[in-house]
Amino acid sequence: MNLSIDMKELDNDIHVKVSGEIDAYTAPKLKESLQPVAEKENSQLIVDLSDVSYMDSTGLGVFVGLFKTVKAGGGELHLVGLSDRLQRLFDITGLGDIMNIDSKVKGGVE
């Protein structure tokens, strides 16, 4: 169970590329990495999930927490590059209607 997180910050825009699996073992690492940038005022957090092969409810919980934190600081969380499987996961839980989700990747980390 491997998770890679690459992050680039440009002013208030934070581009994050997540690769691997997000589950009960790796979700704490994801939360620990993204929570500090989510707490920045007026941040635009763009998370590319195109290389995420698996995510369970623990991963969903991380994104719900990030969404609340970013929104409380006047910013926005954008999830991009979701596979059909991940998109379905967000839609089934109703989070697809609340969060900014786009199947296409915008910008990103190289």
Q: What is the pLDDT of residue 10?
A: 85
Q: What is the pLDDT of residue 78?
A: 95
Q: For 71-94, write each residue's pLDDT tens digit.
A: 999 999 999 999 999 999 999 999
Task: Report the distance separating Cα 37 and Cα 19, nearest Å.
Answer: 18
**Domains contained in the chain, CATH given:** 3-102 (3.30.750.24)
CA–CA–CA angle 84, 36, 103 (5° rounding): 15
Q: What is the pLDDT of residue 109?
A: 47
Q: For 27-81, write each residue's pLDDT tens digit.
A: 999 999 999 999 999 989 999 999 999 999 999 999 999 999 999 999 999 999 9
